[in-house]
A and B are shown apart, each in its own frame.
Chain A
Amino acid sequence: MYDAASIEERHKPTVTLVNRGFANDTESAARSQGLPGLRYIPAAVPCEASIMADIEAGVDGALDDIIGALTRPLTPEEKSPGGREPEKPARVIFKGSLREVNRFLYQRGWTDGLPIIPPTEEAVAEMLTGTDLPPDHLLGKLQSRMGKATIEKIAIAGVMAGCLPTHMPVLIAGTIDLLESEPGFTGYTTFGFSTGSWAPFWIINGPIRHQINVNSSSGALSPGNIANAAIGRAMGLIVKNIGGVRQGIEDMGVMGNPMKYTSVIAENEEESPWEPLHVEYGFKKEDSTVTLSFPQTYLQHWPYSADAQGVLRAVVDNTPRGMRRTIIFTPPHANNLAREGFGKEDVKKYIAENKLVPASIMRRMQMGRPPLDYGSIPEKDDELVPMIKDRRFIRVIVGGGPGAFIAHCVGGGATPGQKETQQIELPKSWDRLVARYKNVVPTYAKY
């Protein structure tokens, strides 16, 4: 619809054919462009259609509507559209019991479906102790609604998600990461809304990992730790309530993705033989950072053996197609690789050079896809071609607990060299805050 809006701005009338399942998204996009009257036809042509009989039936069914939209005079509302929702909702929105608050916020479409902590004045004030920035400080306007990402709204999301005040610096850095995400196809503007159900995946590096207890070890991506659970959850609420990206409307994800509830891991820097991710990306080891990507797929597999060949060959055989991939090695695997002389770059090089597919398969894999630059595909069907065109699209980190499994988070992310990592700024009272909240950890009884 953005193309249609730019055409209307150039004084030409438009009609856009969309799949009828995307009518809500179409209307939201039109309104975001200030053109609520943009004419569109919700047609029955299937998504990504390639069967001509279906396409013909869809177009035939919509033909009269298309002609009508091209020729029918404008209604008064289309000529001069009326009002829109209030842009300054009341700051205090509701009063009620815990259950009533939860029901109210859920019914307004402001939660992720799970119960929330009520964002009272008192709770939000406590969350704001996690930053020196004032509540009305504006970080930027978050797509698609261009909602104002103020510190207070971020704190409200943090409270609702169950964050501790020591998580605020991460939420602020994460929001900046979203705001400064690469424009166009490989940034948040695509991955936040696409039919591909890409989920924000946050990697935390630096000293803050220990100060706020972000799990980098056993079950790091499982439920159980406030930081891993609540930070990712809060970022989801920020996307929803500040960015205005709602499931089934602006978020067009076909299948959805459980990683959208939360997907946060710390790198196990202490047990890694390699430089940590943020140092690789130019930060100092003592800096704390958060790195964002948008995987679609999460998979795990065994190595064929514990030596470098067995680990890397298994990675090559199991890693799926995708644009950007984070491969998480456990400390023992990483150390075995290092002992055999593999640095991070060597690991990436091995994977990129050995993930080969026959040209015939690569050709099929490209069918129907957006014409991205994967390079030319040889004519000879059995000629092997690399599936990963550039090893910079591979990210290697160390994490996870004892055991042999290797994990892959594969999907989207920034073009190498574009912004993906944000330094986390700490408030002046950081040490005091850490002392206050650091012991908020689960203690599991033996039974």
Chain B
Amino acid sequence: MPNGQYQVLSPWAEADPIPFRGINPPVGDLAGKKIGLLRNSKRGAEPTLQVLENRLKGKYPTAGFSWFANLKPNERAVDHDRDEFEKWLKEVDAVVGAIGD
């Protein structure tokens, strides 16, 4: 290049834009609500959610809880267990997930 100058091309790839979407409104109050507890395959996930369930039960005695375990590492529950997952999801008002690693 003249004068030791280099005009360089970008190594960063283009990507099709993924439109950003909003998230769903929270439940507002946990009293009387059913909270889904979704654990993955990592060791820390289950005891973490167990402690959380106990704490929330203490604060919100009328809240209910329902568990779902996605034990397939790096696969979405909906991809390998769609029917059970969607059935479970219909029964809960909100979901707390724990990623154990």
- Residues of A bordering B, CB below 8 Å: 1-4, 6-8, 10-19, 22, 31-39, 43, 45-50, 52, 55-56, 58-60, 63, 66-67, 69-74, 78-82, 84, 87-98, 101, 105, 108, 110, 118-121, 124, 141-142, 145-150, 152-153, 156-157, 160, 184-185, 189-190, 194-195, 237, 241-242, 244, 252, 368-372
Contact = CB atoms under 8 A, between A and B. Distances in A.
30 contacts: A3-B38, A4-B97, A6-B78, A8-B24, A12-B24, A12-B36, A13-B25, A16-B99, A34-B19, A39-B23, A39-B26, A52-B51, A56-B51, A71-B26, A87-B14, A92-B8, A94-B7, A94-B8, A105-B11, A118-B6, A141-B16, A142-B13, A146-B18, A147-B13, A148-B14, A150-B13, A185-B72, A185-B74, A244-B13, A370-B73
B11 to A, nearest CB: 4
Nearest to B47: A55
Task: Give the interface SS of chain B, mostly helix, strand, loop or mixed.
Answer: loop
Nearest to B96: A15
Given A52-B47, A185-B72, A195-B101, A89 B23 contact: no
B53 to A, nearest CB: 10
B11 A153 contact: yes
Contact of B94 (A13, A78, A88): A13
A119 B42 CA distance: 42
A87 B13 CA distance: 8
Interface of B: 1, 4-30, 35-36, 38, 40-44, 47-49, 51-52, 55-56, 59, 70-78, 86, 89, 92-101
A97 B101 contact: no
B47 A3 contact: no
B13 A60 contact: no
A148 B1 contact: no
A2 B76 contact: yes
A139 B16 CA distance: 14
Nearest to A87: B17
Contacts of A2: 76
